[in-house]
Structure 1
């Protein structure tokens, strides 16, 4: 049997710690927790370095390297640990309510660690917490009668939507904090440059006043998230119905 990929073994605590040298004074969990606390306090993933985490723990940087080979490995561990375990789905709810509850849970979890949106995504979920979220979403589809491959496709598409929306919303939120007038005056700015003859569809949006007011970016972002989520779930509902009719 092939060995587990190094990152997977690390996240599941299946990689052996070197036995040579003095007895370790740190645990891997302590290192990851300190890195997450550092990123939370400064709201910045760039604040995390092996040296700063070691300093926070009152240890040398070399003490960290006995557990984590690089900052990249530390980021992998943070990406799983920061999500924590999902809340159990409410009992006896339909698949749509379950997936809505799940998506709102992901949103709430990442909002606790806004730096999470800056983490690189290098592969499918593989850590214990990420797989627990994956399992939870698949479980919401248990009563649909869908084939397992379709369930995976639906959940992966939902993950793509949720992660993408959250990442974009957090970036835009930071932009709004830096320059709110750019958002508040967006409609007026576009009105000055949009020619209805060249951009007729966008001109209709401006005439309808869609971009006239942006007062609370967080509320607008949450409404956009819910709107897009329900559109996605509408598509899932149509897919489930189509498969049921084909049987």
Structure 2
């Protein structure tokens, strides 16, 4: 049975013809859409506003992008850019990969909303997955274990970015810390109250970096234990 490949993937992988015409093209449309989403959030992105940004009629966009869902798929493919070259060694390589991925989420926090944890199929995101797996070349881990390790690092980075790239934008983390301090009392939530009193919810660039570095190190420590058992 032949599986039907969605039109969007055919376009992204170069298996479908590109529309002709001068001036407006898919790359310009996607780049402008990313600029809007980065600056004002995903809710601010509409085909009408995008057409206005590009100085074209809304219907002109549909020659290159079928609908907003397809536009979002194109944005997911383009926004991360090319994955970084990684240093030698599985641990420095995975750490560099994780930090570069974190930078992508911080620069484009809307990615976390659009991707929604779905496995990627576009060439842009798969290139990042491939580079993460390549960091484990030369280790005795099976292909399955390598995939699970990279997935674990990915989940950690995504989870951290949900807080760092979204809550901390516009002072939201300060609001969160204030509400935690107001509502959390030792007699009801003693462990959380102690953490709040210690100031762990107070936003700061140093605290965010320290927390990320600590968590990533513990994840990679677990990989070291896995490797030591092989």
Task: Report deviation, 1:164.
Answer: 2.0
Q: Which residue of 2 aligns with 1:169?
A: 164
RMSD between aligned residues? 2.6
- Deviation sequence 1:84-114 (CA, Å, 0-9, x none): 0012012xx2211110011011111222223
Cα separation, 1, equivalents of 2:8 and 2:109: 23
Cα separation, 1, equivalents of 2:12 and 2:209: 31
Q: Which residue of 1 aligns with 2:124?
A: 129
Q: Does 1:67 align with 2:60?
A: no
Task: Report deviation, 1:41.
Answer: 3.0
Cα separation, 1, equivalents of 2:131 and 2:115: 23
Relative to the length of structure 2, the TM-score reads: 0.86
Match of 1:226 among 194, 206, 213: 213
* Secondary structure of 1:144 counterpart: coil
Match of 1:34 among 25, 32, 35: 32
Relative to the length of structure 1, the TM-score reads: 0.81
Cα separation, 1, equivalents of 2:173 and 2:134: 42
Counterparts of 1:129-168 in structure 2, within 5 Å, are: 129-168=124-163
Task: Report deviation, 1:71.
Answer: 0.6
Cα separation, 1, equivalents of 2:96 and 2:117: 26
**Residues matched between the structures, number:** 229
Task: Report deviation, 1:228.
Answer: 1.5
Task: Report deviation, 1:182.
Answer: 4.5
Does 214-223 or 51-60 show the bigger shift? 214-223
Q: Which residue of 2 aligns with 1:103?
A: 98
Cα separation, 2, equivalents of 1:25 and 1:209: 55
Instruction: Check whether the contact 2:105–2:111 (CA below 8 A) recurs between aligned residues.
Output: yes
Instruction: Check whether the contact 1:81–1:129 (CA below 8 A) recurs between aligned residues.
Output: yes
Match of 2:44 among 44, 47, 69: 47
Q: Which residue of 1 aligns with 2:199?
A: 212
Does 3-12 or 225-234 show the bigger shift? 3-12
Task: Report deviation, 1:189.
Answer: 5.0
Cα separation, 1, equivalents of 2:223 and 2:23: 50
Instruction: Check whether the contact 1:173–1:217 (CA below 8 A) recurs between aligned residues.
Output: no
Q: Does 1:6 align with 2:7?
A: yes
Q: Which residue of 1 aligns with 2:86?
A: 89
Task: From the superposition, tell whether residues 47 and 123 of structure 1 become closer, same or farther in structure 2 (CA, over 3 Å).
Answer: same
Cα separation, 1, equivalents of 2:197 and 2:161: 22
Cα separation, 1, equivalents of 2:15 and 2:22: 17
Q: Which is greater in Rg?
A: 1
